[in-house]
Every structure is written in C-alpha cells, then in structure tokens.
Structure 1
C-alpha cells in the first residue's frame, strides 16, 4: 500500500506549479506546505487513486489517510479527508475518535479544518447526531481549530435547517470568543442556519449583537434582506 502513497506524491510533484503555490499562501496567516497543484487536478487524483484502494478495509484506508496527513501538505490532506468522506456509508460510532484526533493532530489551518469538518465529520453527525454533545465540548478547547470545528461541522446540516437548537447552543458557547477564525466559523454556521430559519437567526442576532464580535455578526447577517441587515448593524 505504500506504493500508492509514493505514486501520489510523485504525481503531485510532477504537477506542481510555483505560481499556484505562491498564490495559495495568501489565503493563510500560517505558513503552509503546498505542492502548488490546482484543486481540480487534486480532486481528479483523489478519485482516481481511491478506485485503486476501494477494495481495502476501512482501517487500511484510514491508515493510508494517516500517512498522507502526516506529511502536512495541503494537497495530501485534501486527498486523505476526501477518502475518509467516501467511506461515509461505513461509518461506525467508534470512528468519531479517529476524526476527533485528526482535528487536533492535522487541522492546522482553516482549509484543512473546514474540509475535514464540512464533509467527513458533518456526515458522521448526520448519522450519529448524539455526537453533537462532543462538538459542544470542543467549544472550550484551548485549540482554536477544535473551537472552529464545533461550528463548521454543522454547516451543511444547518443549511438544510437541521439541528437549530444545537446551532444556537454552540453559537452561545462561542459568542465572545476572541479568535477571528472562530468568530468567522460560528458566524458562517448562523448564516447557513438562516437560510431555513431566518426569523430565529435574526432574533438571535438582535438579542446578542451588543456582545457578539462584529466579525461574527457580519458573517451571520450576510444573506439577510437589506432591511434586516441594517437593523442588525444598528448600534
């Protein structure tokens, strides 16, 4: 199976581009490791190589994901997180321990955090919603990525109108967080919840706008009609 990892890394090297590499760094405050391969090419590789390992067991595929993640390269992380998402029909409760550890060990910028949480962990929560209680525990972590993960894991469910009470609970827990990437994370979650629950999210914003950081507030109200946005922004 190590041959697969070697082949992936070789193909990434062959497709690396300095211009793509330098342009991708501007989206991050942290230093990132990147080959400089365009997203479309990485996505294609992800699917092609998964066909070669799809007959492997879930633990074997998770082990391959771990190998890719340990390199810290953006492209390898994307492949690993997408492979874990491809296995969503096989998720079991004990997989949460793996995904939770991946947040702590490998989600060291917003893109990795969001890719893992939006797809893999978000799909896991759809199947096992009782684990939302574990997300709530992340809100008090010293690790900013756990705190952001608590919110962005619920992006897709909240867009469908699901878990509103939990969305508001997590927003409460993160309300005065001083980290801008956590503020953006829970503001984004509220914005998505507002698609199906506009009045409830508007009411929440109005109730909390005096203590909610402006960054989170602006994200939360982005999709509101103009009149509701104006009311939300009033001092």
Structure 2
C-alpha cells in the first residue's frame, strides 16, 4: 500500500467525502414520500435503497486494497452519529463487506450503537441486524444468549434487533428453537414494531417447519399479539389461516388438518 493512497483513502477523509456525495444525491420529494413509512420524524435525504447500495459497493471497491475491518469500523464511527438515515445506512452497508473478519467480540460495540440511538428506526435495525449481527451469531451461536438479554432492554431497537438478527439463520433452517424462545420472551411486549418482527420471524420459521409453527400458535394463541399471529399466518392457505386466526383467539373451531 502506498502512503499517498493510504492517506487519501483514510476512513475519516472517505467519510467526509461520502457525506458530501450523498448530500449531492438528495431528492427532497422522495424524502417526503419516504417519511410516510415511519412514525417518528426522521432526517432523510431521499436516496433510494438500490442507489445507496451501489454507492456502498463503489466505496468498498475503492478501499478494499487498503482497509481492514478496523478502518471500516472507524468509517462507521464517523458516519453513524450523522442525522440523515441514508448516511448511517451506507456506513452499515460498507461494514457488511467486512463481516468475515468481525467476531463475537464486536457485539458489545454494535450494542452500544443501538443504545446510543445511532440505529434508531426500524429500517436501520432491519439493515444492521441481518447484515452485521446475524453473521456473528452464525460464527458464534453462543451469543444468542446475549441476544436473549436484549429482549428485556427498555430500548425498542435493541429488542427488535434481537428478533431480526435470527431471520437469515432461520431461513437456512438454523436457530429454530432459539427463534421460538426469543418470541416467547417478548409475548408481553406492547410495541407494534416488536409484534410485527415476531410475526416476521415466526413466518420464516414456518417455512422450514409449518407444523411446528401451527403447534406453537395453538399452544400460546391467546397470549400472542394479534398482529404477530396475522404476520405469522400470511403464507397459510386462506381456509387454514381463517381457522387458526379463530383458534388462537381461544374460540372453538374444528381441529386444523394435519
């Protein structure tokens, strides 16, 4: 690595250039349209996700010969405190290229980002958890125990991240037991964004073992938030879905077919 290139592509300088670049791509009209997907008022530049991913790949291709995960993390430290959602999203996207060299020892750092509200909306959580946390769980399954503790945090985003981090693993047929246990720990949660994430996780688990999902819903039905049940049943045939929606409310219906 030449010193001149290394200096030019320093994490701090690259971050500053990235901020300017993304600001130049802003689209106020698209930003206003995007705001409707969030309850909280956010700072949005109005950059579509595909364009943001292209920018992240372009940055990675430039820095790949020079950066390790240490530089990528430094890049994140500079960008994550920035208000615009797209700037923070891009930081996570660039870091995702370095997950092969991240380890379970990075989990406390990632947790600190959530607690500091650098990741403070469902879109950022749903990017960070599958792209960064999930690969760590795949490498070191024992850190699921740490994710269990997140379910009792007062921080909404930490709780949602614990659920969403398991989704890529469940899609591969892994961590099914842990997924159901995670949902059980959050059944009494009052937040709609948690109810939706639980339903999403259960729906993915059901794709791998539909009978197990049906048994779970029937066993805990009245305790499960209705939003969660509806999300979990989205892929069921209409007739079966209707029966289970009634059965999980505790109403008497004919026994669901095996």
Q: TM range, normalised to the smaller chain?
A: over 0.9
Question: Contact 1:21/1:37 (CA < 8 Å) preserved in 2?
Answer: yes
| Consecutive aligned runs of 4 or more in structure 1 exceeding 3 Å deviation | none
Question: Contact 2:59/2:94 (CA < 8 Å) preserved in 1?
Answer: no
Give the Cα–Cα distance (whole angstroms) in 2 for the partners of residues 81 and 111 of structure 1: 12
Give the Cα–Cα distance (whole angstroms) in 2 for the partners of residues 227 and 157 of structure 1: 29
Question: Contact 1:155/1:189 (CA < 8 Å) preserved in 2?
Answer: yes
- SS of 2:154's partner is coil
Compute the RMSD of aligned alpha carbons.
1.2
Question: Contact 1:62/1:84 (CA < 8 Å) preserved in 2?
Answer: yes
**Residue 142 (1) aligns with residue 154 (2):** yes
Deviation (angstroms), 1:52: 2.3
* Structure 1, unpaired ranges of 5+: none
Aligned to 1:3: 13
Give the Cα–Cα distance (whole angstroms) in 2 for the partners of residues 228 and 166 of structure 1: 26
Q: Aligned match of 1:69 in 80, 83, 92? A: 80
Deviations 1:28-69 (A, max 9, x none): 001111111122221111011122222223222101111111
Question: Contact 1:5/1:68 (CA < 8 Å) preserved in 2?
Answer: yes
Question: Contact 1:82/1:120 (CA < 8 Å) preserved in 2?
Answer: no
Aligned to 2:38: 28
Aligned to 1:51: 61
Give the Cα–Cα distance (whole angstroms) in 2 for the partners of residues 13 and 167 of structure 1: 39
Task: Point out the structure with max Rg over C-alpha.
Answer: 2
Deviation (angstroms), 1:208: 1.1
Deviation (angstroms), 1:187: 1.1
**Normalized against structure 2, the TM-score is what?**
0.88
Give the Cα–Cα distance (whole angstroms) in 2 for the partners of residues 93 and 121 of structure 1: 9
Q: Aligned match of 1:214 in 207, 226, 234? A: 226
Question: Contact 1:35/1:73 (CA < 8 Å) preserved in 2?
Answer: yes
Q: Aligned match of 2:50 in 27, 40, 43? A: 40
Deviations 1:160-211 (A, max 9, x none): 2211111111111011211100111111100111110111011101111111
* Structure 2, unpaired ranges of 5+: 1-9, 252-258
Give the Cα–Cα distance (whole angstroms) in 2 for the partners of residues 41 and 137 of structure 1: 36
Aligned residues: 235
Segment drifting more, 170-179 vs 102-111: 102-111
